[in-house]
Structure 1
């Protein structure tokens, strides 16, 4: 898995790319929570849930269904999130789904159960350049540093370039005028 910091990169990039004020700070916080939440399944290790179990690490909480459930929650809470219903659901869904997709690009683990409950197959992307992050006690080590450097190269830099490129494109507002 990428580190918890890097799972927050996608919501932050979407927020940075949006027009100022378009994504409220509450919706951003919900997006960050949705992007990080799938890794709460590591608590299963303490409960002796096997890694390969449907409810083990990178299992059900890394599925499209889980992302859709978080989106439905955002839809129900769109007013406190200071967003329209479609915007809240779409933003949280994209942020939640970014988690298993990033995990699929890592160099270790068992893959992600993206299609659970329809399939318990664990999937990886065909190309896996992101170093898998060590768990909490091993993060502040040489391996943890290698992970951070890998994440900077393969996640943060491309997202930064994408945001900058998006911001440099001319966009039209609803009134038809050009906005930076």
Structure 2
């Protein structure tokens, strides 16, 4: 899995690129939380739930159903997110879905249960350039440093470039 910071970066970039007139600060924060939330399933390790279980790491919380559920919750909470229901649902749902899609581009683990509960198989993309992140204290190692460097190249840099492009386009439109 990429680091939790990297998961939050995608909705933060999208929200900043769209601008505060489209994506409120509250909605952007909700998207960042939704993008990180699937990894709450790491508690399964301490609860004795096997990794390969539907409710193990990268299981149900890494599915389209889970992302859609968070999107529906955002529709219900649209007033506090200061966004129209369709935008709140789409932004939060897409943010949550970005998590398993990034995980499917890593080079380790058991894959993601994107189609749970309809399909029990987990999958990866055939292109997997992102180093898988060590879990827990093992992150503070050479492997953790390799993960950060990999994420900088494959996620952070593209986000910065897209954000800069969106900023430049927005500035040009205002002139």
- Fold shared, TM-score > 0.5 on shorter chain: yes
| Aligned equivalent of 2:13 | 13
Confirm whether residue 179 of structure 1 aligns to residue 171 of structure 2. Answer: no
Q: How is 1:25-104 mapped onto 2 (pairs within 5 angstroms)?
A: 25-104=25-104
| Aligned equivalent of 2:161 | 161
Once the two structures are TM-superposed, the CA of residue 171 in structure 1 deviates from its matched residue by 8.8
| Aligned equivalent of 1:175 | none
Stretches of structure 2 lacking an aligned partner (at least 5 in a row): none
SS at match of 1:116: coil
Q: How many residues align?
A: 175
SS at match of 1:152: helix
- Calculate the aligned-residue CA RMSD, in Å: 1.5
SS at match of 2:167: helix
SS at match of 1:80: helix
Distance 1:80 1:18 in 2: 19
2:12 and 2:29 in contact (8 A); partners too:
no
Distance 1:168 1:121 in 2: 43
TM-score by length of 2: 0.95
Once the two structures are TM-superposed, the CA of residue 179 in structure 1 deviates from its matched residue by 2.9
Stretches of structure 1 lacking an aligned partner (at least 5 in a row): 173-177
Once the two structures are TM-superposed, the CA of residue 170 in structure 1 deviates from its matched residue by 6.0
| Aligned equivalent of 1:23 | 23
Larger proportion of helix? 2
Question: Are residues 170 and 21 of structure 1, via their aligned partners in 2, closer, same or farther at CA, if it must alter by over 3 Å?
Answer: closer
2:11 and 2:31 in contact (8 A); partners too:
yes
Distance 2:148 2:54 in 1: 28
